Amino acid sequence: GESVGLHLPTLSVQEGDNSIINCAYSNSASDYFIWYKQESGKGPQFIIDIRSNMDKRQGQRVTVLLNKTVKHLSLQIAATQPGDSAVYFCAENSGGGADGLTFGKGTHLIIQP
């Protein structure tokens, strides 16, 4: 889940298991959300996005769920692989003229062999 401060929350799962990463976003006016994956030494890489008129979207091995009532976003990764080990960020765009993304602090996902 989200963290405030210096320490990233860590989620450790066994290879092949499913993982769920949670994010509590801040702005109730946000209407577009993205999940990014960041591997060590690299820039954030787009995984999947969802607009506020949807509550679920699926990609390849990934599913994003949006609960606007409680301002909660989650990323589900099915059948995790070693290459899924990374830091995952949720980002929100509040629209209304604010074009940049506001990023969460990130969750460190570790895939155990």
Footprint of other proteins (CB under 8 A): 6, 31-32, 34, 36, 42-46, 49, 51, 89, 93, 95, 98-106
In DSSP notation, 65-83 reads EEETTTTEEEEEESS--GG
Residue whose CB is less far from other proteins, 82 or 96: 96
Q: Of 13 and 57, which has the nearer Cβ to other proteins?
A: 57
Minimal distance in Å, beta carbon 102 to other proteins?
8
Locate 106 and state its tokens: 């990130």
> Is the CB of 32 or the CB of 71 nearer to other proteins?
32
CB of 17 to other proteins, least distance (A): 27
Our CB check for other proteins shows the closer of 68 and 103 to be 103
Burial 31-50 (b: 16+ CB within 10 A, else e): eebbbbbeeeeeebeebbbb
The least distance separating other proteins from the CB of residue 31, rounded to whole angstroms, comes to 7
Number of alpha carbons in the 13 Å side-chain half-sphere of residue 70: 8
Shortest separation between residue 68's beta carbon and other proteins, angstroms: 15
Question: DSSP 3-state assignment of 39?
Answer: coil
For residues 15 and 24, what is the distance between their CA atoms, to the nearest angstrom?
26
